Amino acid sequence: MTEIAALKHLSARVGSDPLLVQAAGGNTSLKTDGVMWIKASGTWLRDAEAKDILVPVNHAALMAALEQNDPACEACTDFIRTDLNAAGMRPSIETTVHALMPQRVVVHVHCVNTIAWAIRADAEIRLAEKLKGFNWAFIPYARPGLPLAGAIAKKLRPGVDILVLGNHGLVVAAETVAAADALLGRVVAALRRPVQALTPPDHARLALACKGTGYSPAASDETHALATDSLALARGKNTVFYPDHVVFLGVGVATEIASEAPLVALAGIGVLIHNTAKPAIEPMGRCLADVMRRTEPQDSLVGLTDQDVDRLTNWDAEKYRQTLNATA
């Protein structure tokens, strides 16, 4: 198997694990012969083998621009190797993260166990205990694009092959796909957290609530846990903990059908998804429940600020990704 085929295989596997990747989140890349092949914006990693989702980027040109803090690094479209980009796709909004890691293979995931640590007030201290023996760095939250690139550049030391992105996720890097896969497994195992048992939804009351509305019950009990878990809704209702939440679900979580929101969590009963909701909505609802079920009542959690939320929702590259996910 070629390295690019191996990367596609790993991408599809990682992209099919809801504890690692949800919807169009996460991305992978491979640097070879001066070209960095990176997941296209708005595509789903789980489709990596079924569809062409990799975009070729001129790595040296992107690195030179990053050195200059060039605004072209926000969308990275200026660095596409158009001669190799038959499908005409745009690179991921997190392309700069991959470019900055010197290793050939980079895997970035929104691992729920990692996020459950990365949203804590004491994240860096607790992660240092858990990742003892690994060569890692903690990157405080910054908006993807140039701000996150700057935050990574500041903390990157020779040999670092793991980044934990505050209020965001995990990056692992290695010289081969097999080594990146193995490292991902070791880090995820080290960061695993105890999980609250699932409380199943009240199907009868959900059916009643849906009658005459455009809503249907969510498909999985893991998603319903957003409404049935004692902590999940209380904590997730008004706080945005990581970027993809606000991008797909908006600020907080709707708790009444009257709002016409794509996802409604009826406290103690279950979760409803609007029939017109994008395919990303249920995975995003489940992700929040999965993260919250891995926190404990005494944990002190930190959300994104109003300013963070503003900077995300008004970012042009993110708006482009949203237009793709309206149909994807």
Query: Whose Cβ is closer to Zn ion: residue 166's or residue 169's?
Result: 169
Task: Quote the CA–CA distance of 138 and 43 in Å, as a whole number.
Answer: 27
Between 8 and 39, name the residue whose CB sits nearer to Zn ion: 39
- CB 15 to Zn ion: min, Å: 13
Smallest distance, Zn ion to C-beta of residue 108, A? 6
Beta carbon of residue 148, minimum distance to Zn ion (angstroms, whole number): 9
Q: Is the CB of 164 or the CB of 253 nearer to Zn ion?
A: 164
What's the CA gap between 81 and 300, in Å, rounded? Answer: 45
Task: For the sheet with 162-165, list strands across it.
Answer: 54-58, 35-39, 27-32, 105-109, 169-174, 162-165, 136-139
Q: How far is the CB of 139 from Zn ion (least distance, A)?
A: 11
> Residue 227 or residue 287: which is nearer to Zn ion going by CB?
287
Q: Angle CA(109)–CA(289)–CA(128) in degrees, nearest 5?
A: 50
Q: Taking the complex as a whole, how short is the minimal distance between the CB of residue 166 and Zn ion, in angstroms?
A: 12
Least distance from Zn ion to the Cβ atom of residue 31, Å: 19
Mask: binding to Zn ion, 161-180, rule CB under 5 A, as x and -? --------x-----------
Shortest separation between residue 244's beta carbon and Zn ion, angstroms: 7
Closest-by-Cβ residue to Zn ion is 169
How many of the chain's residues bind Zn ion (CB under 5 A)?
Answer: 1
When the beta carbons of 43 and 228 are compared against Zn ion, the nearer one is: 43
In SS3 terms, the chain reads as CCHHHHHHHHHHHHHCCCCCCCCCCCEEEEEECCEEEEEECCCCHHHCCCCCCEEEEEHHHHHHHHHCCCHHHCCCHHHECCCCCCCCCCECCCHHHHHHCCCCEEEEECCHHHHHHHCECCHHHHHHHHCCCCCEEEECCCCCCHHHHHHHHHHCCCCCCEEEECCCEEEEEECCHHHHHHHHHHHHHHHCCCCCCCCCCCHHHHHHHHCCCCEEECCCHHHHHHHHCCCHHHHHCCCCCCHHHHHHHCCCCECCHHHCCCEEEECCCEEEEECCCCCCHHHHHHHHHHHHCCCCCCCCECCCCHHHHHHHHCCHHHHHHHHHHCCC
Q: Closer CB to Zn ion, residue 254 or residue 312?
A: 312
Q: Which of residues 308-327 bind Zn ion (CB under 5 A)?
A: none
Q: Residue 230 Cβ, how far from Zn ion at the closest point, in Å?
A: 28
d(CA 140, CA 143): 10
Q: Give the nearer residue to Zn ion in terms of CB position, either 118 or 227.
A: 118
Residue 42 or residue 169: which is nearer to Zn ion going by CB? Answer: 169
* Residue 258 buriedness (CB in 10 A; 0-12 / 13-18 / 19+): exposed
Minimum distance, C-beta of residue 74 to Zn ion, in the bound complex (Å): 15
| Interface positions, 123-162, toward Zn ion (CB under 5 A) | none
Q: Which residues make up the interface to Zn ion (CB under 5 A)?
A: 169
